[in-house]
């Protein structure tokens, strides 16, 4: 899965509720593509859990995973630093959302 853009094409790459639907085996490749096309910032808004946790999505398995996505980026790419992260408990369910901003350090 390659995105049809050159390296560093976007100043900011943003995901919201996207990474949670990428199967764990495919996540490293997706993060690599996001990192590749992001010139400076990566901003995410995703469900969060301290470790990989599968949850049912509309009654089905293997379609949604919570994870610590900001940590996955930082572990995989040493040129990223976490600028800010907020974890927000959902009001109507037991999920926690995270919003994070990481920056490339050149």
Output the domain CATH number for residue 91.
3.40.50.150
What is the average per-residue pLDDT within 4-20? 96
Count of structural domains within the chain: 1
**DSSP reduced 3-state for 8:** coil
**pLDDT exceeds cutoff 90 at 28:** yes
| Closest among 93, 103, 100, 88 to 41, alpha carbons compared | 103
**pLDDT exceeds cutoff 80 at 94:** no
Mean pLDDT of the chain: 93
Q: Per residue in 41-80, pLDDT tens?
A: 999 999 999 999 898 889 898 989 999 999 999 999 999 9
Q: 14 is in which domain, residue-wise?
A: 10-104
């Amino acid at each position: 899965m390659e995105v049809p853009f050159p390296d560093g094409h976007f100043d900011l790459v943003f995901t919201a509720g996207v990474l949670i639907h990428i199967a764990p085996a495919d996540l490293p490749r997706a993060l690599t593509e996001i990192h590749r096309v992001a010139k400076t910032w990566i901003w995410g808004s995703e469900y969060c859990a301290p470790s990989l946790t599968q949850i049912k999505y509309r009654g089905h398995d293997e379609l949604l995973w919570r994870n610590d996505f900001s940590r996955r980026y930082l572990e995989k790419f040493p040129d990223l630093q976490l600028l800010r992260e907020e974890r927000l408990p959902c009001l109507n369910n037991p999920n926690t959302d995270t919003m994070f901003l990481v920056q490339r350090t050149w």
